[in-house]
A = this chain, B = another copy of it.
């Protein structure tokens, strides 16, 4: 029995009678199952698909055109009201769906959305759930999803309905396996729910199927709590809203504790390696004293010492005001944004691969001056971690570095120095936190529940409408759900190329925090005030009823111009 099967089995066993669900579901989980989801009004009556103008690419259109000869240039699509249903209502469809990459709240609702679409618009259709991510496609491991099967997962967190995986369909053999599955199951379409890489992969699959004259169409869906898959047409990736609200609940609680206790600095590291959207959003929700945004650190080419000094400067300023407590947010990927750290790690990887490290420290002479200085600046525990913990390729494990603890130790050292210089007179006590796994599988907010359901429902329409190589796109998200727009965006239009191993590879560029974007500018305009006063906001637990239950995150509202 695989974990996937077993996990499903546990809940599936519960679904046969509502009494059984009560046995393994909390009251809140149970109440969410029957939560009635609003649908954008265009999806509630007859609609047709209208194509936009021919599209291009985000960069290097010539190369993208070569990589996607069958798909490049295709228009994006929009669903508009129609007098009669213009799609092919008689035809039964065979559709597959797959979850790819890390969990994000709302994934189950995407599946429920496409399932309900097929039930309502293409009765008699079949929906296959590929198990354990893209590997499930390649190995043709699937389950047929029906009403009973998906019922207990409605509006629930997690990806356990069919589970996910991190495999990629990349090599010619893997594409061949995917083709075989498509043929074997006679698939009309495939919905790939994933992040930037997975959607790039979806587009390659779509191109490949089209090139081989297979009927299987492929539609993507934007998923990632990190919030780094977005564009003008795809205003948000799902899961970001819920994850940020869960982290902000915890941060708000810690803030009230900090203010009540009056003696701790809480260093909170937040999930999000590649981009700092989560940290920025949590800052906008909670108003911490200090927030480090990786993109700013990179743009300003800050060193670790600069970051430490910035933190310590604020701590000293606050001490003079009588505040010896505070809350500091740090993105998980911080050290990836610091160029000198990258240099040090590259040098260490080189040295450790070739040499035995001598106790006397002679090996250090192989470091460049800059790297040696940085290494000596690091707390001993981090130095040891860098030397000892290596991945199977012998590389330093950057991801394992507990940045929040490292910064606490570095702040301690610097504050001790300033104390001796007479510039700091208070006591510093740091507390560390890491919020990560707690936010990936929470019950989706009303926003993520509705957004995902619409994304899945729209994907059904796009597949029935014969579309391929599009990413499901729901817009106008600052308005009530009824007014949301629905369509699909050409995946190739989001792409650029990167040169890897001498070849051009298509990529959907990760959306980083833009330093001239509204969310960062709002934050930047407030942070000095937040640093020295205590404007803490405690968002409290996510509510599913009442006035706050339909609030949308600040990042999205600011980007849409719906918040000043």
State the A residues within 8 Å of B (CB): 1-7, 10, 24-29, 31-32, 103, 156-160, 163-164, 246, 249-250, 252-254, 256-257, 259-264, 266, 285, 321-325, 431, 433, 437-443, 533-548, 551
Contacts and interface: CB of A to CB of B under 8 A. Distances in A.
Contacts of A103: 256-257, 260-261
16 contacts: A3-B323, A6-B321, A25-B538, A27-B551, A103-B257, A103-B260, A163-B260, A246-B541, A253-B440, A257-B437, A264-B437, A266-B437, A433-B437, A443-B541, A543-B543, A545-B545
A536 B438 CA distance: 15
A424 to B, nearest CB: 16
Contact of A322 (B6, B257, B262, B545): B6
Given A158-B260, A322-B1, A438 B543 contact: no
A437 B538 contact: no
Contacts of A160: 256, 259-260
Contacts of A3: 259, 262-263, 322-325
Nearest to A245: B541
Contacts of A285: 26
A28 B541 contact: yes
A162 B260 CA distance: 8
Nearest to A535: B24
A548 B28 contact: yes
Copy number in this complex? 2
B322 A253 contact: no
Nearest to A262: B3
A440 B543 contact: no
A156 B25 CA distance: 29
B541 A438 contact: no
Contacts of A433: 437-438
Contacts of A5: 322
A542 B542 CA distance: 8
A125 to B, nearest CB: 26
Contacts of A6: 321-323, 534
B441 A7 contact: no
Given A25-B537, A249-B541, A262 B31 contact: no
Contacts of A260: 7, 103, 158-160, 163-164, 441
Nearest to A32: B540
A195 to B, nearest CB: 15
A26 B257 contact: no
A440 B539 CA distance: 15
Nearest to A439: B253
Given A160-B256, A260-B159, A260-B441, A541 B542 contact: yes
Contact of A31 (B24, B321, B548): B548
A1 B322 CA distance: 5
A163 B32 contact: no
Most buried by B among A29, A433, A540: A540
Contacts of A156: 256
A496 to B, nearest CB: 31
B253 A437 contact: yes
A321 to B, nearest CB: 6
